[in-house]
């Protein structure tokens, strides 16, 4: 119920009607983890080497919009509470940064920067040319 600009969700931790084998706190924790992992998957481009050429120095700017409906993380499972990308970026910035740095480093791609501009986040990726000797 909205009150003074706040929206309160009142959950009964013993309510087993919606999730018969789990309490609401464990369901929330599970969904929180799923939402966080979904965001990390979204930030880690599959086969990023295809975007950045092998024989040239190049950069790629990955843009993540957190405006309006774009801020909501789309879950495969239905859940009453909506998890927001912007909240994860604000609260778990260091963990997100560490995950994407490790992922892109495994592809020999340097994460030059991760920054926020308004409601948008940017990841700047850079690949150095590999000198091929014939």
The structural domains of the chain, with segments of one domain joined by +, span 19-127
How far is residue 127's CA from residue 53's CA, in Å, rounded to a whole number? 8
How far is residue 72's CA from residue 66's CA, in Å, rounded to a whole number? 8
Contact 24, 15 (CB under 8 A): yes
| Per-residue pLDDT reduced to its tens digit, 32-72 | 999 999 999 999 988 887 777 666 778 889 999 999 999 99
Contact 49, 107 (CB under 8 A): yes
pLDDT score, position 103:
94
| Per-residue pLDDT reduced to its tens digit, 46-55 | 888 777 766 6
* DSSP bridge partners of 65: 120
Tell me the whole-structure pTM to 2 decimals.
Answer: 0.76
- The rounded percent of the chain whose pLDDT value lies above 90 is 44
């Amino acid at each position: 119920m909205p009150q003074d600009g706040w929206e309160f969700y009142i959950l009964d931790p013993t309510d087993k009607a919606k999730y018969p084998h789990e309490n609401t706190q464990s369901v929330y924790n599970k969904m929180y983890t799923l939402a966080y992992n979904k965001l990390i998957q979204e930030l880690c481009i599959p086969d990023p080497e295809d975007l950045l050429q092998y024989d040239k120095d190049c950069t790629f700017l990955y843009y993540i919009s957190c405006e309006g409906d774009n801020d909501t993380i789309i879950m495969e499972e239905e859940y009453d509470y909506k998890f927001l990308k912007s909240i994860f970026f604000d609260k778990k910035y260091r963990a997100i940064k560490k995950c994407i740095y490790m992922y892109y480093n495994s592809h020999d791609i340097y994460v030059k920067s991760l920054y926020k501009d308004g409601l948008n986040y940017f990841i700047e990726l850079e690949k150095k040319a590999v000198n091929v000797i014939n």
